[in-house]
Structure 1
Amino acid sequence: MSTDTTYLQDAGLPVTDLGPVLAGERHPLLFATVSGAHLYGFPSRDSDVDLRGAHVLPAEDLVGLREPEETRSRMWDSDGVEMDLVTHDLRKFVRLMLKPNGYVLEQLLSPLVVHTSALHAELVALAPAVLTRDHAHHYRGFAGTQWRLFEKTGELKPLLYTFRALLTGIHLMRGGEMLAHLPTLLTRVPAPSYLPGLITAKAAAEHGGADGVDAVAVAGDVESLHRMLDRAQAESELPDGASGFDALHELVVRARLVPVSAG
């Protein structure tokens, strides 16, 4: 396995040595990437750093009487920055991949990689085989949840999450590419012209308010993007179902029975 011990500063990430943290994991890590606001392109100065990935449990953990630790979570402070690492056992992670779950695919395909392996590369190569037009439901639902949170709190963060989810879903339906970075999405999908200003405003505070936002106009723009997502799903060339089940099954079995290489 290889480990990148520094974050990419141009993504707004603090320079941090993750080697000791990753080395302290009880089970072999297949990968760890950065998710959340840093991946989405609108981190704040006080944003937490969200690390996500997959680990491999030994076979005996799955065949005995004890419940396996399929999801593992750790939180710590690094020079005043809150960090958290959440990983799923490979079988659970792959089962989530086989559902229309855009969230785990964003983690898998995140360009902000801090830990990788040969099996990580295999998972990435198989990701296109699980993309379907049903992933539009994930982004439609996530956008709805974030919009309701914006209506309740008036914060910029859930508003930007709403737009990000809709634009990711539209882009995915149109071209089959998973893209979670909002500033880049703004160059690929027609979107309201005020979004770059909201991204700049969010940089000041993680839970800052959406002061000056025209709620009526924003609601209309969100509804318009929902309709755009509906059309993109109806016209998408993505398949109706995933085709990667057998290849992913073989990968999970192989990873469980053959120790993960440290090289």
Structure 2
Amino acid sequence: MNEATDVPGGVPLRHDVLTEHQAKVARAYLAKRAGERHHLVIYLSGAHAYGFPSPDSDLDLKSVHIARTADLVGLVPRPGGAEVMLVEDGVEIDYGSNEIGDVLRGVLKGNGNYLERLLGELVLEADVPRLLGLRPLVKAALSRRVVRHYGGFATSQLRAAEVAPTAKKVLYVLRTARTGLHLLRTGELVTDLNQLVTEYGPDIAELKARKQSGERAALSTDELGHWRGVLDRAIADMGGAVITSVLPEEPTGAAIAALEDWLKATRRELW
């Protein structure tokens, strides 16, 4: 395994969670993409971020990029987004990138996908000074709106698990529900299910073992029946947490203004 790279000022680059080969392939692939867009952050999402990667897990590389202002103000805006799935030197890669303007608007709506890219721990590459300046502003803009994302996403994942039950799908429902619950209760974003179940349960050791034996490890009808009650309660826990959440109902005017100022300053810098 690689070691985490310490960046002066405080955003460690987490190639240590990848094998040497995965890290080499990821670096080479992202270097190509960096020639196409200015990455603010490239975040390793999916099973790696959630704490239960399998040997055959893909690299879920989710980016936020900053388009040149000149590309946004013409008759035909070119925000430069991308969605690519491919196999590179034996490593399956799922790369996606969204422009910072859309991302910050999503942050204000409680979009957990974007929040995890900006605040998550498994950063592979970043414009470190800008990311460090933005993170506290994003944290200040957190609100109870996140329940719409995490509650809705967990519910849709549960439906998918009912159609074709696998250990992976059950773990994904739990991860989504527990991340949402913890965020509402503490204002802290945690995506690693191993950390979350230590505080909130349940025991996932058997599920993890099944999932890590293969991405498509199936569950029987009886096994799904056991977990169905657990998943229903996990989703319901979020609904209860909204009432007593430490987060405000919606982002404050000051938080919105701070993000607006940051975005305008960045647009001026990167014309």
Query: Percent identity at matched positions?
Result: 31
Q: 1:123 aligns with which of 109, 124, 134?
A: 134
Contact 1:11 1:41 in 2 (8 A): no
Which residue identity lines up with residue 95 of structure 1 in the other structure?
Answer: R
Q: 1:63 aligns with which of 73, 84, 88?
A: 73
Which residue identity lines up with residue 219 of structure 1 in the other structure?
Answer: R
**Structure 1 residues 64-73 or 90-99, which shifts more?**
64-73
Could you tell me which residue of structure 2 aligns to residue 150 of structure 1? 161
Could you tell me which residue of structure 1 aligns to residue 46 of structure 2? 36
2:256 counterpart of 1:227: no
Contact 2:17 2:48 in 1 (8 A): no
Which residue identity lines up with residue 62 of structure 1 in the other structure?
Answer: L
| Residues 106-133 of structure 1: per-residue CA shift (max 9 Å, x gap) | 1212211111121111222212112112
Contact 1:52 1:107 in 2 (8 A): yes
Cα distance in 1, alignment partners of residues 122 and 72 from structure 2: 31
Distance verdict in 2 for CA 1:8–1:211, change over 3 Å: farther
Q: TM-score, normalised by structure 1?
A: 0.88
Cα distance in 2, alignment partners of residues 89 and 138 from structure 1: 19
Cα distance in 2, alignment partners of residues 102 and 84 from structure 1: 18
Cα distance in 1, alignment partners of residues 120 and 14 from structure 2: 16
Which segments of 5 or more consecutive residues in structure 2 lack a partner in the other structure? 1-6
Which residue identity lines up with residue 242 of structure 2 in the other structure?
Answer: Q
Contact 2:82 2:98 in 1 (8 A): yes
Highest RCO, 1 vs 2 (Cα 8 Å, sep ≥ 6): 1
Which residue identity lines up with residue 147 of structure 1 in the other structure?
Answer: L
| Residues 5-59 of structure 1: per-residue CA shift (max 9 Å, x gap) | 8721379993325444333331211111101111001112111101112111112
Distance verdict in 2 for CA 1:125–1:209, change over 3 Å: same
2:208 counterpart of 1:199: yes
2:228 counterpart of 1:236: no
Contact 2:37 2:66 in 1 (8 A): yes
- SS of the aligned residue for 1:188 comes to helix
Distance verdict in 2 for CA 1:22–1:256, change over 3 Å: farther
2:32 counterpart of 1:46: no
2:32 counterpart of 1:21: no
Which residue identity lines up with residue 172 of structure 1 in the other structure?
Answer: L
**Structure 1 residues 247-256 or 176-185, which shifts more?**
247-256
RMSD after superposition: 2.4
Distance verdict in 2 for CA 1:6–1:97, change over 3 Å: closer
Matches within 5 A, 1:93-172: 93-117=103-127, 118-172=129-183
Could you tell me which residue of structure 2 aligns to residue 80 of structure 1? 90
Contact 1:171 1:188 in 2 (8 A): no
Contact 1:6 1:16 in 2 (8 A): no
Cα distance in 2, alignment partners of residues 110 and 12 from structure 1: 22
Greater share of helix: 2
| Residues 228-249 of structure 1: per-residue CA shift (max 9 Å, x gap) | 2222111112101113211111
Q: TM-score, normalised by structure 2?
A: 0.86
